[in-house]
Chain A
Amino acid sequence: MSNFSVGFRSSGHIQILDLKGELDAHTASELEAAIQKCQRDNLVHILINGSNLMYISSAGLGVFMAYIEEVREAGGDIKIAALQPKVFNVFDLLGFPMLFDIVDSEVDALGKFEPSNA
């Protein structure tokens, strides 16, 4: 029924979330649950891959704002990669590139995380 889903992958100590579909007020809770799961598992290096994210509403953007502080306090970060141009525009209009690392490709984003000290 929901046209939004989150896929989990990992690369080293970095948790990659593949977003798919439309992230709006109705589906925002699914991304919230995914990030909460990462926090529970102590995975605070989170990379959002948006290559299959077709739409984001303001409520969807709110999810990133809700967790970024906690994640950074825990020594991690949320980085965003591979957004569709239209979705990037929504991030950009609100000035998100000033608050988050938003890069073109997943590889670039992986490179921006500090190497694991584990």
Chain B
Amino acid sequence: MLGLGIGNSGVNILVPRSFEYLEFYFVPLASFVKQASIFGILYCITAFLSLLFHLPTSGDYEQREGERATMYSLAHLVSQVFDAERLFVTVTSAPVEAGSADFSWLAMPDPSSGNLRYRVVGTHKISSEQIAEWVDSDLLVESMIGERNPIVIQRASTDHRLTVLPSNGQIGSLLAVPLIARDEIIGALFAAKQVVNGFERDDIATISVFAAQASLAIDNSRLFEQQVEKERLSREMSIAREVQRRLLPQNVPVMSGVSIAASSVSAQEVGGDYYDFVRLADKKLGVIIGDVSGKGTSAAFYMAEMQGIFQSVSRLADSPADFLHHANVALAQSLDRNIFISAIYAILDLEKEEMILARAGHCPAAIIRLNGESRYIRTKGLGLGLDRSDLFRRSLTEEHISLQPGDVFVLYTDGVVESRSSDGEEYGYDRLLALLNDHRHDDADGIHAAILRDLRSFMAGEEYDDDMTLVVLKWHGLPMESIISSNQIVHESA
């Protein structure tokens, strides 16, 4: 039309009058100018139209707005780390708020199923029942675990992981993004639209970026929770440890002619080892050592019970075997079938100058005399709690040992003889007896310290992996009031 306008010169106001002269006088130049003009006009129109088409539409504005909202909630994620519930709400609603989806929900591994199944922890604009009905979250998560990439289902009705009837048309397309923290999938964010082919590249990118941030926030929130829980537990445990420490004697008894040293080390905060003393008469001392099977908290409870029984029953019992029998009856009520307690109860009677021992399944006490004669006192006896009939009483035998000046008695728990060196060798009974022989001239403190020293060098830096208790008594002879030196007591914990 423009060409026509130019051709029909004279009437067209678009064509300057001077052009008519140019066409008349110099045809090639006129033709060039004509073509250049046409090109110029076409170029302008094209440029104008393309400008028009690239102007942002209202949809674009909405998306921008959504993205801004996403960025805003990203910033808020950080501050919600301390409140897991609110964090889940924010994460769940973000895809819808950002305008990238119509519904969204968040699923996380269910600890009660051993993290194998996923549980919906938050929903937005959709109910958990609807999700359960329409979507096989487990299957989707399974596919995600392999690839660790977002799954995009543009046509929900054709995918076997979704049971959407075209008639109800609730979910047209679906996007599932894995939440990955520290190289582990900690959950999945699902976003769905009513329309098919609803997710464009932008949407997927926006939600993926958001998911990455959300993973970090959720992971931090969990670390924070764990830390709080850990601190609470460690506070509780330190209280338990303090209570247990008070159940053990705070000082060793002072008796003329006798030196005593004792210590107990727990492998964990609390343990199942027990030792105690009871003054039965002016010149009569009861000594007990016990070891609850297993270790840690459960053992510590039974240890506390043992302490109660010892403190109340020991004064009433006529002999060590008698006491152990009563203790077995008392413990039968509360001990689990797989728990038992080994113990030695010894009575040091300075009036009669004898030591009477009974052993209920415990590591045998060692005796070493001044002349180097040494042995383990291995009387018969079942562990406490192993039998509830009178087989227990019948199994017990006692040994009476006439005291000679210089006699050393060593009571210990299996943690001592079963301590291992770095190459797995056990400390053992022979080594203990040999060491006692070398130190038999020391007082109780000296012998006690020598055993711990030797154990430490034997283990060469290995951690104690069992509770370890050691009680040393030495009879110096009657007129030795002056040499009582030992009243120290050590509590350690590995």
A residues apposed to B, CB below 8 Å:
25, 57-59, 61-63, 65-66, 69, 86, 93-96, 98-99
Contacts and interface: CB of A to CB of B under 8 A. Distances in A.
Contacts of A58: 291-294, 340, 342, 414
> Which has the most chain A C-beta neighbours within 10 Å: B292, B383, B414?
B383
A57 B418 CA distance: 10
Given A93-B362, A94-B342, A95-B386, A62 B381 contact: no
B340 A93 contact: no
A99 B389 CA distance: 12
Given A25-B294, A25-B295, A94 B338 contact: no
19 contacts: A57-B466, A58-B293, A58-B342, A58-B414, A59-B293, A59-B294, A62-B293, A62-B340, A65-B337, A69-B337, A93-B363, A93-B364, A94-B340, A94-B386, A95-B380, A95-B383, A95-B395, A96-B386, A98-B391
B342 A63 contact: no
B387 A99 contact: yes
Nearest to A70: B337
A98 B340 CA distance: 15
Contacts of B391: 98
B382 interface: yes
Given A61-B340, A93-B364, 8 more contacts: A58-B291, A58-B292, A62-B340, A65-B338, A65-B340, A93-B342, A94-B386, A96-B386
A66 B295 contact: no
Among all A-B residue pairs, the 4 with the closest Cβ atoms: A58-B293, A62-B338, A95-B382, A66-B338
Contact of B294 (A62, A86, A96, A98): A62
B339 A62 contact: yes
B361 interface: yes
A93 B395 CA distance: 12
Contacts of B295: 25, 59
A83 to B, nearest CB: 16
> Which has the most chain B C-beta neighbours within 10 Å: A25, A58, A59?
A58
Nearest to B291: A58
Nearest to B339: A62
A94 B293 CA distance: 11
B338 A99 contact: no
Contacts, number: 57
Nearest to B396: A95
Interface string B323-359: 0000000000000111110100000000000000000
Contacts of A65: 337-338, 340, 386
Contacts of A66: 336-338
A59 B298 CA distance: 12
Nearest to B380: A95
Contacts of B364: 93
A58 B361 CA distance: 11
A67 to B, nearest CB: 8
Contact of A99 (B339, B381, B382): B382
B406 to A, nearest CB: 27
B441 to A, nearest CB: 29
A95 B391 CA distance: 11
A63 B337 CA distance: 9
A57 to B, nearest CB: 8
A118 to B, nearest CB: 29
Nearest to A25: B294
Interface string B174-200: 000000000000000000000000000
Nearest to B392: A95
A9 to B, nearest CB: 25
Nearest to A63: B338
B294 A95 contact: no
A47 to B, nearest CB: 20
Given A62-B340, A63-B338, A69-B337, A98 B382 contact: yes
Contacts of B291: 58
